[in-house]
Structure 1
Amino acid sequence: MNSYLISIKAKLSLFPSHQSRASLAAHFGLSPPQVFRKLTTFFKSLGVKAVYDTSCSRDLALIEACNEFVSRYKESISNEAEKSKVSLPMLSSACPGWICYAEKQLGSYILPYVSSVKSPQQTMGAIIKRHACCRMGLRPDDVYHVTIMPFYDKKLEASRDDFTFELESPEQTNDNRAIVTEVDSVLTSGEILDLIKLKAVDFKALEESPLDRM
């Protein structure tokens, strides 16, 4: 992260999860809101352009999961003959480790029941790269989007091919297709502590900056 911040030319956006903020709050003896505002100050001093709250993506993921369940349920009661083909109950998990286990070990036995809704991490990545960039007049590949998550499996989730998309361009050919990753990098709570120590920052003494809004 440190070397990347030195060389990067793209605009960086940051997305600290609730769990990581709680862990850092316990470590420093601060409240989660205080940690969030101090993280904003810290990362903006390193060149990060915007630090966003995770609440909107969590809420959106929950709403989409509710809509998917209602759709499946309505389908199950609308046609008794087709009821057995509807995948209920619906399972939902934002844990990449569990999803990977289901894919590799359980396969078709369980996967039809798993919700198709993205995790809050990937939902936020899609919001930033597919919608916010367009509204702000930026190319998605000019924004480097980073999340702060509590465990390493989130790095594997971000690297999945499922969470990339092709950037449309009039000059595009099969040889120069631009593939954009929704989440470019994931840092764990421990890696954030290492970065704070590397920069020799008195985190508790940092000023508290207001959060960014989209």
Structure 2
Amino acid sequence: PKPQVLQPPPPPQEPADLPPDSSPDALDADEKKNNPWLFWGPILSAIGIGLIPVGILTLPLLVIALLKSRRRKSRFAEGHPAQRVGGGWNEVLSLATDMGAAVDGRATRRETAAVVAEAFPAAGTTTTMLAHRADASIFGAGQPSEDEVREYWEIVDGSLKEITGTVGFWRRQQARFSPRSLLADARAALNSRGDNARTALNLSLIHI
């Protein structure tokens, strides 16, 4: 018998060359180019998740700012002219309250003006004048004219600038987003309802 001869192994085959655009990385890049969401989706999701705590913190501040803006518009536009003058005075008291002044809602305007003048001396003269003019408009005969109401509110805005001008930027922002004046308004409204209820009860007892 013939001796067996081992055959040499076949030569190794060279890997087939793929076109440049058919490699996995190129295909992945083309897919991302055709569908941008594959690239931007994870980034936007991460940003959105990161903004959730920021939104939770800023939402109450935005609500406070919105309520104060609506309150100012209501004070300026609603009610008869004397009430709108009183609303301008209340705007000064609200800012003073948010700035930390010890404003007593049961005090007279002139007493409150003295408190505001002591807390913010730069606005003392204007605040005192506003208190006197508000008393004259509310307790005087007749109603102030529209021009007088607008003029009063212009002086109010000047007084607000005088008050905020005595402190720095961050203190102004703290007052802007402070809920103190809103809470004071809520307490005053509750007290007023309680007083009205007691008055109605007393009148009903008198007629019994």
TM-score (norm 1): 0.23
The structure with more strand, counted as a fraction of residues: 1
Higher relative contact order (CA 8 A, sep 6+): 1
More helix by share: 2
TM-score, normalised via structure 2 length: 0.23
The structure number with the bigger radius of gyration is 2
